[in-house]
Amino acid sequence: MIRTIKTFMFLTIISFCFFFSSCTPKITETPTVIPTAMLPTRIAATLEPVEIETDCVNSFYYLDDVNYQDGTEVEAGSVFLKEWEVQNNGSCDWNEKYRLRFVSGDQMGAPDSVPIPSVIVGSKGKLSVELQAPKEPGTYRSVWKAFGSDNRSFGETVYVEIVVK
């Protein structure tokens, strides 16, 4: 009886080993990675900062999107003017040397930088950029940053996010 049990166990083990060693391994396919487009970015400070002796500080508060709220649908290829209302809460008056520069996202046909209007300390002003909606459907974002006459950035970034149908 013991011999029968040992023989049975031996044959079971041999059968088990034989069965799994004779199976063909199944090849698992690795899914193809679909590349995603990187958002273009730009080094915001492409000009060297200029040392200017001044005791003032550049700064602003973002107040509101004047138009084209986030998610606004825009017709493919149409040209539009995006405006942000801000308040100069620094201690420097802004002049013709101040710029709003594209820093990341989709530039949407806009120039690399646009002038910031002259705004005295404590006053409100509008930052604006003329853009062109892409021709392909999707959600697009364009991010901008203010730079002073010394080529140093200040304030928060402002952006426009549209949906092209």
Note the pLDDT tens digit of each residue in 82-106. Answer: 999 999 999 999 999 999 999 999 9
Smallest CA-to-CA distance from 133 within 71, 81, 76 is with: 76
Q: Model pTM?
A: 0.69
Go through the chain and tell me how many residues it has: 165
Instruction: Say if residues 77 and 165 touch (Cβ distance below 8 Å).
Output: no
Cβ contacts of residue 34 below 8 Å, gap of 6+? none
| CATH code (residue 154) | 2.60.40.10
Q: Which two tokens stand for residue 85?
A: 């209302």
Q: How many domains does the chain have?
A: 1
Residue 10 in any domain: the answer is no
**Domain with 68 in it:** 60-164
Residue 117 located in a structural domain? yes
> Has residue 112 been placed in a domain?
yes
24 vs 124, higher pLDDT = 124
Spatial distance between the Cα atoms of 144 and 156, rounded to a whole number of angstroms: 9
pLDDT band at 48 (very low <50, low <70, confident <90, very high): low
